[in-house]
């Protein structure tokens, strides 16, 4: 494979996020997240329930204000997965893929990512990649 046929980093990580989304257990949307630091994957997440809890596909969605309360969002799952294994996400990038084509994370997920130190979120829409900076020059 030549250098010009290899996917760039955004394409590579977004395609992995799309694959991770296939594990989602909420039928309302399939969302995947990949957290990368220095071009290395440190965590992934998809929208689904906490370990040991019944999945939406088994027990149905637990709806409140038009949002499923049973499923944990992919972005939060990815941050929590990194924390569980003692991996810092400070300064990392989060790649976000949503089957419904929503270009950005919800307010609560953005707040969690900010607190965890995620610096940049990369998503995709029909026009291409969307790169958003969450934290600016905190040093």
Give the pLDDT confidence of 22-68 residue by residue, as tens digits: 999 999 999 999 999 999 999 999 999 999 999 999 999 999 998 89
- Token pair, residue 129, equals 């990649």
The whole-model pTM stands at 0.89
Cα–Cα distance between 116 and 37 in angstroms, integer? 13
- Please state the separation of Cα 114 from the chain's center in Å: 13
Residue 126's Cβ-side half-sphere holds a number of Cα atoms within 13 Å equal to 1
Q: Which residues are catalytic?
A: 75
* Tens of pLDDT, residues 65-121: 988 999 999 999 999 999 999 999 999 999 999 998 888 888 899 999 999 999 999
Phi/psi of residue 5, nearest 5 degrees: -100, -10
DSSP state of 61: -
Residue 20 has pLDDT above 60, yes or no: yes
Query: Who has greater pLDDT, 44 or 128?
Result: 44
d(CA 11, CA 120): 15
């Amino acid at each position: 494979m030549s250098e010009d046929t290899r996917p760039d980093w955004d394409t590579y990580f977004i395609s992995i996020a799309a694959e991770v989304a296939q594990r989602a257990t909420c039928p309302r949307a399939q969302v995947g997240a990949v957290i990368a630091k220095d071009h290395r994957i440190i965590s992934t997440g998809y929208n689904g329930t906490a370990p040991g809890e019944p999945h939406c596909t088994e027990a149905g969605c637990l709806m409140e204000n038009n949002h499923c309360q049973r499923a944990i969002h992919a972005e939060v799952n990815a941050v929590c997965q990194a924390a569980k294994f003692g991996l810092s996400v400070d300064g990392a990038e989060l790649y976000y893929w949503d089957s419904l084509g929503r270009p950005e994370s919800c307010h609560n997920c953005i707040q969690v990512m900010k607190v965890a130190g995620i610096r940049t979120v990369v998503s995709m829409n029909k026009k291409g990649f969307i790169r958003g900076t969450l934290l600016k020059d905190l040093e």
